[in-house]
Amino acid sequence: MRTGGEHMSNPEDCELKGGASEESEIVHNDTGITRREFIIAGTATVAATMLPTLAYGQTPQQPKLVQPQMAKVALKVNGTSHELELDTRTTLLDALREHLRLTGSKKGCDQGQCGACTVIVNGRRINSCLTLAAMHQGDSVTTIEGLGTPDNLHPMQQAFVKCDGYQCGYCTAGQICSAVAMLNEIKAGIPSHAMADITAQPKLTGAELRERMSGNICRCGAYSNIAEAITEIAGRTV
| 116: CB partners within 8 A, 6+ apart | 105, 106, 107, 108, 109, 170, 171, 173, 174, 216, 217
Assess if residue 7 is contained within a domain.
Answer: no
pLDDT grade for 44, boundaries at 50, 70 and 90: confident
What is the per-residue pLDDT across 86-138, written as a single tens digit (0 to 9) for each?
999 999 999 999 999 999 999 999 999 999 999 999 999 999 999 999 999 99
Q: Find out whether 216 and 170 touch, Cβ atoms under 8 Å.
A: no
CATH for 177: 1.10.150.120
- Quote the pTM value: 0.72
What is the per-residue pLDDT across 11-29, written as a single tens digit (0 to 9) for each?
444 444 444 444 445 555 5
What is the per-residue pLDDT across 62-94, written as a single tens digit (0 to 9) for each?
778 888 899 999 999 999 999 999 999 999 999
> Do 137 and 212 fall into the same domain?
no
> Do 163 and 190 fall into the same domain?
yes
Which residue range(s) make up the domain with 38? 14-42
What is the per-residue pLDDT across 161-204, written as a single tens digit (0 to 9) for each?
999 999 999 999 999 999 999 999 999 999 999 999 999 999 99
Boundary-marking domain end, from 130, 146, 162 = 146
> Do 90 and 109 fall into the same domain?
yes
Task: Using alpha carbons, select from 177, 80, 188 the residue that is nearest to residue 128.
Answer: 177
Q: Find out whether 145 and 102 touch, Cβ atoms under 8 Å.
A: yes
Q: How many domains does the chain have?
A: 3
Q: Find out whether 159 and 232 touch, Cβ atoms under 8 Å.
A: yes
